[in-house]
Amino acid sequence: MAERSPWHPRAQTPREAGAAKPDGEDRLYGLNACRAVFAKRPQDVRKVWLAESRIPALQPVLAWCVKHRIGYRVVDGADLDRLTATRHHEGVCFDVRRREPSSLAALLAGLPPAPMPALLVVLDGVGNPHNFGALLRSAAHFGAAGVILPAGSGLGLSGAACRVAEGGAEALPLARAGADEDVPGRLREAGFQVAATVPRDGADLYAEPLPARLALVFGAEGEGMSEALIHAADLRLTIPGSGAVESLNIAASAAVLFAEWYRGRRR
């Protein structure tokens, strides 16, 4: 008797569609986010749900699932809404093995040595997954070498962050600082200048070229970054503007700063 294909194109019952993801896995959604996971680490895909309209776009994924006996289901929009707890799933949802951040030491060891150009992103208190995703998208576009998360932060590659990142989350190494680790000190040892991004009273971003080997530090919306980290920085950078609003949000600020660093490298 022929082996049955795991592709069984029927709608799941609400009970099936509401199943919780296992420990050690993340539930990601969004077409570009899911495609990026499949392109970078197909072995981590554990289960796939998709709308019938996404079958043509995801044929390589379905072929992989058949070959490697990974379960997938064709479901309707309401079931995808329940699976992802959002209507912004774009017709596809993956359960994938969680990609844990590396240590700061491992991230630095994988970079080109000084004085080769490199851009790192350091987050201090950022918690909004949509801002995080937008920042990852811009960082990937402008060639950042990695993102450093604070110790004890719950920030991670959630479904919302990865969807907004549009594939950028898979392009960037992530590291989490250790408790009480001297992040600015470690970065300086690796040849980086550390720049705190502040809404006012910093050096004009456009006045002088940015260092080729740069670690940009971003604080949370509203609260900003810690005073200790601001004082530990080598530079304080402000994006000049009309003054009609107090400042840009973190995602917009990050894109402007990344673009200016990238422009300098192109020169």
For the chain, domain boundaries: 14-97, 102-266
**The pLDDT of residue 8:** 41
Beta strands in the chain (DSSP E): 25-29, 45-50, 71-74, 92-97, 102-103, 118-124, 146-149, 174-176, 193-197, 203-204, 213-219, 235-238
Peptide bond into 150 cis (omega under 30): no
Instruction: Domain 14-97: give its CATH code.
Output: 3.30.1330.30
pLDDT tens string for the chain (267 positions)? 333 334 443 434 434 445 667 779 999 999 999 999 999 999 999 999 999 999 999 999 999 999 999 999 999 999 999 999 999 999 999 999 999 999 999 999 999 999 999 999 999 988 889 999 999 999 999 999 999 999 888 888 999 999 999 999 999 999 999 999 999 999 999 999 999 999 889 999 999 999 999 999 998 766 678 888 888 999 999 999 999 998 899 999 999 999 999 999 987
**The pLDDT of residue 23:** 77
Give the predicted TM-score (pTM) of the model.
Answer: 0.90
Instruction: Domain 102-266: give its CATH code.
Output: 3.40.1280.10
**The pLDDT of residue 123:** 94
**The pLDDT of residue 10:** 40
Place of tokens 């392009």: 171
Contact between 107 and 175 (Cβ < 8 Å): yes
**The pLDDT of residue 175:** 97
The Cα–Cα gap between 192 and 211 comes to 8
The Cα–Cα gap between 35 and 42 comes to 9
H-type alpha helices, 104-176 = 104-109, 129-141, 159-165, 168-171
Q: Which amino acid is at 78?
A: A
261: alpha, beta or left? (left if phi > 0; alpha if psi -120 to 50): alpha
**The pLDDT of residue 4:** 33
**The pLDDT of residue 2:** 33
List beta partners, residue 195.
Answer: 216, 235
